[in-house]
Structure 1
Amino acid sequence: MRVLLVGDYPPPYGGVAIHVQQLHRFLRGRGVEAKVLDIGKGGRPAPDVHPVRSLAGFGLKLAGFLSAGWTVHVHTSGNNPKSWMLAAAASVPAPRAPRIITLHSGLLPDFLAASAARRALARTALAGYSRVVAVSEAVKEALVGCGVSAEKILVQPAFCASQVSPGPVTPAVELARARRKPLLAMAHHPSPVYGRMLMFRALRMIAEEVPEVGLAVFGPGTRTPEFARDARETHVAPYLEDLGELDHEEVLGLMSRCDAFIRPTTHDGDAISVREALTLGVPCVASDVCTRPEGTYLFRADHAPDLALRVRQAIAEGPAHVASPDAGPVMLRLYSELAATRQLGSASSQWISIQETRHAAQ
């Protein structure tokens, strides 16, 4: 079996990129010949990872794998036109190469609901795939609404629990751990979707009761004038631990040392960070904007007092003991089933060809 994963590969450490990296590691650990066609911004060199930086380069490399009969698994968000163009490009006819696609974004339903043209594009782009993996029931329902057969869709969170383990703990994290009690952590991005201002308002409320509290913030945009302005206006600057951008392994190290991980997003999908925290045995507080894994402490979206309340509850009660999903074995079985179907189809075609030849000879 030979599997090509198509999608972003770290860095940067977005949810799709992390999942592609972890699924790649899982497959290689099971002895599967697996490679990655990295269509992201370009990361560090890694074994069997092939970066592509142009549409022409993508087409040429993909064509080579398709003609060689590799099983191709595309990973994309599904929440913008570029994502659907990628899906369509990777679904070109190639009878010897089964195609699978995972659609990752919780914003996909709203994107498709916005116009009939988008729904038609999605339906056409997915026609060439043997199976479609949706990360949530909401994503599946949106795809069915476009005309994609429900029997073709598999709902599976994009998460590989077997690949999650605490990474190295940096000196900055150890320092934060030593001087903050409790120590909270939050992934940051300049986009308002990540809920920075909401978290800052809730942090101020928590600090009024627990002045030793600290919030470790990591990710892009923590050292911008806008970030500093928001921290100043909400009076939380003294409680912040700005860790900048971390490698994914360092993020897991931070999670393992904090008292609670917070996901205050205004829109979301199946956030990999939420599942990582739960897998590591760390209390996780997240907005109720989408279905969250069992064991998550939910707060009402855009409601700072409720967020502060749930953080205090999570710290007092501790983590829930939950079983985390693992997409690795599920995808491995799916690849095997498609490979077996392809071989059966090939054998059937050969038998029909032989019978037609015999009939013609008579």
Structure 2
Amino acid sequence: MKVLLVGDYPPPYGGVAIHVQQLHGYLRGCGVEARVLDIGKGGRPAPDVLPMRSPTHFGLRLAGFLSSGWTVHVHTSGNNPKSWVLAGMVGGMPGLRASRVITLHSGLLPDYLAASGARRNFARVALAGYARVVAVSGAVRDALLSCGVPEEKVVVLPAFCASQVRPGPVPAVVDAARARRKPLLAMAHHPSPVYGRKLAFRALRRLAEANPHVGLALFGPGTDSEEFLRDVRDLHVAGNLEVLGELEHSAALGLIARSDAFLRPTTHDGDSISVREALALGVPCVASDVCARPEGTRVFAAGDAEDLARAVTEAVAAGPSLHPSVDAGPELLALYAELAGTANPSKQSHEDFDTGETRHAAQ
């Protein structure tokens, strides 16, 4: 069996990229010949990860894999035109021996598709070439069915590989924050308002009134922007923040593991990898009620800073607790095996494929 994953690969460390990285690691650990066609910004070199140098280069490489019978699994958000162009391109490219799977990750997808009949029609056509369509939540599944995607093609499977959650060493600033903050809260930051930064700051201000030693450790992009600094100043939380910037994923897991609670105050969500990672590590997790959350999550009313502060207080008081975690790895591996048997994939060796790829690139 040979599997090509198409999607973002870290860095940066977004949810889709982390899932692609973890799924790739799981497949390689199972002895599967697996590669990644990185359509993101192109991080540091990694084994069997191929950067995309240009759209033409991407098309040629993809054509080589498809013609060689690899099972291709696309990972994309589904909440913007670029995402659906990618889906349509991979799904419509010739390659009869190659089965295709796509995972649609974004909690914004239902609203995106609901806004336009043209979008729903395009989505239905773009997904026609896929043997299976993986939705990360029931809401995403329902949105796809409303487009006319056949129900038997759609499976709901969280984008999470519990076996790959492995905390690593942390920078000294994390240990310093742990030593001076009681409690220490953690939150993944992004400049998009979807991530709920202002709401988290308002809740933090309420928590600090009762306990001035509380701290919120933020990791992720955008913490050096003018908008971020303005919110810190206007909401008076500078004294309770630990701003860590972007962390390697293993270091981010190390931070979460050292925290008293993890916050996910989003306004929209699909199926958050970070929520499941916190729960898998036994760390109390507080998340908005904008979607179904995994067992063990303490939810609060979206947009309500007072309710968020209440839920955090209760979570910290309750303390650590391990909860069962799903693992998409074995289920996807079984799916690939089923589809590979149907598709009669090529038995070319690595060397044969590389020669074929070079031939495509030369045309």
Q: Tell me if both proteins adopt one fold, taking TM over 0.5 as the criterion.
A: yes
Q: Please state whether the residue corresponding to 1:90 is helix, strand or coil.
A: helix
Structure 1 counterpart of 2:279 = 278
What is the identity, as a one-letter code, of the residue corresponding to 1:72? V
Structure 1 counterpart of 2:183 = 182
8 Å contact 1:183–1:215 — kept in the other structure?
A: yes
Q: Please state whether the residue corresponding to 2:274 is helix, strand or coil.
A: helix
Query: Whole-Å Cα distance in 1 between the matches of residues 234 and 75 of structure 2?
Result: 40
Query: Whole-Å Cα distance in 2 between the matches of residues 263 and 95 of structure 1?
Result: 42
Q: How much does 1:321 deviate?
A: 2.9
Q: How much does 1:342 deviate?
A: 2.3
Query: Whole-Å Cα distance in 1 between the matches of residues 268 and 325 of structure 2?
Result: 22
What is the identity, as a one-letter code, of the residue corresponding to 1:66? L
- Structure 1 regions of 5+ residues with no counterpart? 345-362
Q: How much does 1:269 deviate?
A: 1.1
Is it true that 1:296 corresponds to 2:297 in the alignment? Answer: yes
8 Å contact 1:93–1:128 — kept in the other structure?
A: no
Structure 1 counterpart of 2:111 = 110
Structure 1 counterpart of 2:30 = 30
**Structure 2 counterparts to residues 10-159 of structure 1, below 5 A:** 10-91=10-91, 92-159=93-160
Q: Deviations over 1:173-220 (max 9, x none)?
A: 000000000000111111111111111110010011111101101111
**RMSD between superposed Cα atoms in Å:** 1.0
What is the identity, as a one-letter code, of the residue corresponding to 1:63? A
Query: Whole-Å Cα distance in 1 between the matches of residues 233 and 310 of structure 2?
Result: 23
Q: Please state whether the residue corresponding to 1:244 is helix, strand or coil.
A: coil
Q: Please state whether the residue corresponding to 1:74 is helix, strand or coil.
A: strand
Query: Whole-Å Cα distance in 2 between the matches of residues 89 and 233 of structure 1?
Result: 46
Query: Whole-Å Cα distance in 2 between the matches of residues 176 and 310 of structure 1?
Result: 22
Query: Whole-Å Cα distance in 2 between the matches of residues 85 and 197 of structure 1?
Result: 33
Q: Deviations over 1:222-250 (max 9, x none)?
A: 12222122111111100001111111111
**Structure 2 counterparts to residues 224-239 of structure 1, below 5 A:** 224-239=225-240
Q: Deviations over 1:252-309 (max 9, x none)?
A: 0100100000011111110110000000100000001111111101000010000000
8 Å contact 2:66–2:94 — kept in the other structure?
A: no
Q: Please state whether the residue corresponding to 1:290 is helix, strand or coil.
A: coil
Mean Cα deviation higher: 127-136 or 222-231: 222-231
**Structure 2 counterparts to residues 158-237 of structure 1, below 5 A:** 158-237=159-238
Moved over 4 A (4+): none
Q: Deviations over 1:68-110 (max 9, x none)?
A: 1100000000000100000011012321100000000111000
- Structure 2 regions of 5+ residues with no counterpart? 346-363
Query: Whole-Å Cα distance in 2 between the matches of residues 53 and 292 of structure 1?
Result: 38
Query: Whole-Å Cα distance in 1 between the matches of residues 71 and 173 of structure 2?
Result: 43
Mean Cα deviation higher: 98-107 or 335-344: 335-344
Query: Whole-Å Cα distance in 2 between the matches of residues 83 and 235 of structure 1?
Result: 38
Is it true that 1:324 corresponds to 2:314 in the alignment? Answer: no
The one of the two structures with greater contact order (alpha-carbon pairs below 8 A, sep at least 6) is: 2
Structure 1 counterpart of 2:352 = none
What is the identity, as a one-letter code, of the residue corresponding to 2:312? V
Query: Whole-Å Cα distance in 1 between the matches of residues 284 and 134 of structure 2?
Result: 28
Query: Whole-Å Cα distance in 1 between the matches of residues 289 and 153 of structure 2?
Result: 28
Query: Whole-Å Cα distance in 1 between the matches of residues 250 and 321 of structure 2?
Result: 23
TM-score (norm 2): 0.93
What is the identity, as a one-letter code, of the residue corresponding to 1:202? A
What is the identity, as a one-letter code, of the residue corresponding to 1:326? D
8 Å contact 1:295–1:319 — kept in the other structure?
A: no
Q: Which is greater in Rg?
A: 1
Q: Deviations over 1:305-345 (max 9, x none)?
A: 0000000000011244311110110000000001122239x
8 Å contact 2:281–2:322 — kept in the other structure?
A: no
Q: Work out the percentage of aligned pairs sharing the same amino acid.
A: 72
**Structure 2 counterparts to residues 225-264 of structure 1, below 5 A:** 225-264=226-265
Query: Whole-Å Cα distance in 2 between the matches of residues 128 and 225 of structure 1?
Result: 44
Q: Please state whether the residue corresponding to 1:254 is helix, strand or coil.
A: helix
Q: How much does 1:54 deviate?
A: 1.6
Query: Whole-Å Cα distance in 2 between the matches of residues 250 and 231 of structure 1?
Result: 24
8 Å contact 2:9–2:42 — kept in the other structure?
A: yes
TM-score (norm 1): 0.94
Structure 2 counterpart of 1:357 = none
Query: Whole-Å Cα distance in 2 between the matches of residues 202 and 62 of structure 1?
Result: 47
Query: Whole-Å Cα distance in 2 between the matches of residues 260 and 334 of structure 1?
Result: 35
8 Å contact 1:160–1:327 — kept in the other structure?
A: yes
Structure 2 counterpart of 1:5 = 5
- Aligned residues, how many? 344
Is it true that 1:305 corresponds to 2:297 in the alignment? Answer: no
Structure 2 counterpart of 1:352 = none
Query: Whole-Å Cα distance in 2 between the matches of residues 123 and 129 of structure 1?
Result: 11
Structure 2 counterpart of 1:355 = none
